[in-house]
Amino acid sequence: MGLVSFFKELASKGQYYMPVLSQQASYLAHASSALCEMTETMDPVSWRKLEKEVKACEVQGDALLTELHEQLYESIMSRARRSDVQTIAMNIDEFLDCINDSAKSILLYMPERIDPHIKDLAQYINAEADSIRKMMPYMVDIKKNFSQIAVQCERITELEHAADDTFAEYIGYIFTNESDPIELIKYKNIAETLEAATDSAKRISDTVKKMLMVYLD
């Protein structure tokens, strides 16, 4: 059975795997939204509250991944098919971990300001999470929803490229304009953590693209 048929079989049998992936994506959307809120305030109390929201999503996402691993272990599907589901789930979990790291970095460094570039990077993360959330329900029938899935994959790629440009511009900006070396290190580290999160979202897209190529074959 091919990968496309496998996912259709999961949907027809009411298996648990696709709902888990969709729930993971919902946690991504919630966590990335909270991260964006963190970049819109300079209130440490709000930072702590929002960071806890992100952490709660990350913990719940870890629990979902553990549950999925148990389901996969008990299933009778082939090792290759288990690997396909597991790869997507682990990539989503990695993205959620990176969002959590980004939120923690703001709380850890307590920067004196949140520059527009940082806000833009958080918005790119949020947009990528939104694309993943929209994509997951389509995965139950890749043949029928091929175009919708491809559109979201391309959107994630474009967002990641835009984030790379923003990150590079910001690094140049702070090294040119920030005179306080301690603050410079703070801004650089926060930006690097956010940029890493955008990269992790693209890994999800790349995995799904490989699945689409299997369908084309």
d(CA 136, CA 143): 14
Here the tokens at position 74 are 């008990």
Q: φ, ψ for residue 183 (rounded to 5)?
A: -65, -40
d(CA 124, CA 131): 11
Q: Does the global pTM surpass 0.75?
A: yes
> What are the CA-CA distances from residue 131 to residues 47, 57, 71 (Å)?
25, 18, 26
CATH for 141? 1.20.58.220
Residue ranges with strand state E in the chain = none
The whole domain housing 125 covers 3-216
pLDDT tens by residue, the chain, 217 residues: 444 454 445 444 445 567 888 899 999 999 999 999 999 999 999 999 999 999 999 999 998 888 776 666 655 454 445 566 778 888 999 999 999 999 999 999 999 999 999 999 999 999 999 999 999 988 878 788 999 999 999 999 999 999 999 999 999 999 999 999 999 999 999 999 999 999 999 999 999 988 888 766 5
Q: How many domains does the chain have?
A: 1
